A and B are shown apart, each in its own frame.
Chain A
Amino acid sequence: MADDPLSITFAALADPTRRAILARLAEGAATVKELSEPFAMSGPAVSKHLRVLERAGLITRGRDAQWRPCTLDATPLREVSAWADDFRRFWDDSYRRLDTYLERMKEQDNVD
């Protein structure tokens, strides 16, 4: 496992459960118990995911030892989300254009 900040963030985001946890936290702070419920996972398994997210700077955890609510920190995401939007839009726009272009190709095929 790489230990530089970028690789840590990358590894943290690459897991679908952790992305789902981040999506849940985007709605507001939550406890480990609340985060465990939708995933049919044990508390310790979710805690393991939370440690990865915390190390990546994507969440912060409260100091109250009993409750320790998790809060999303979107700073690492916000910096770079503009590029992601562009990338996705590139293909979505291109695919829409391809729909129309394929219609033209089909018509030309019929003429030939």
Chain B
Amino acid sequence: MSTETTARWTTPSDVEVAVTRTFDAPQELVFDAFTKPEHVVHWMLGPDGWTMPVCEIDLRPGGRWHMVWRRADGSEMAMTGEYQEVTPHSRTVQTESWGPEWASTVNTTEFIADGDRTTVVQTMRFPSRADRDRALETGMKDGADTSYERLEAYLATVG
């Protein structure tokens, strides 16, 4: 069976990680759930107890997005980025930044219709060595190292 109701994590290349998950809903609905703030705030929340007080999505090439999560203890985590490609109902490409001192990841999300079900493939491409060097040159070494530690940790758990 090609559909997967549990998430599958893979590493397509040295600088990419991908997660594949199938949802029991048609493509258009799943695309809206990922790209319209009124839907996103209801589910893209991580662990129970988290909320999303800010969710702004300007869904067009060059449009910005901004999300803020609030954990149960009141602390917050923010991410921002820009859409590079928007193909309604089938594909988006967006940058994602954990903060100004970190090089952005580029996230591609594909929505693949399979009858009334939809398989979503999210691929995160991490900064190249060149991107990282640029970040280091700005004197933000700690931030860049932290983002690479995160990447290493993540890669250690997949596959």
Contact = CB atoms under 8 A, between A and B. Distances in A.
A83 B153 contact: yes
Q: Is the interface on chain A under 10, 10 to 19, 20 to 34, or 35 or more residues?
A: 35 or more
A6 B159 contact: no
A81 B156 contact: yes
Summarize A's interface: helix, strand, loop or mixed: helix
Contacts of A13: 152, 155-156
A-B CB proximity, top 8 nearest? A80-B153, A90-B46, A84-B153, A102-B25, A14-B14, A97-B43, A13-B155, A98-B43
Contacts of A6: 145, 148-149, 152
Interface of A: 2, 6-7, 9-11, 13-16, 19-20, 76-77, 79-85, 87-95, 97-103, 105-106, 109
A10 B154 contact: no
The residue among A6, A81, A82 with the most chain B CB atoms within 10 A of its own CB is A6
A98 B23 contact: yes
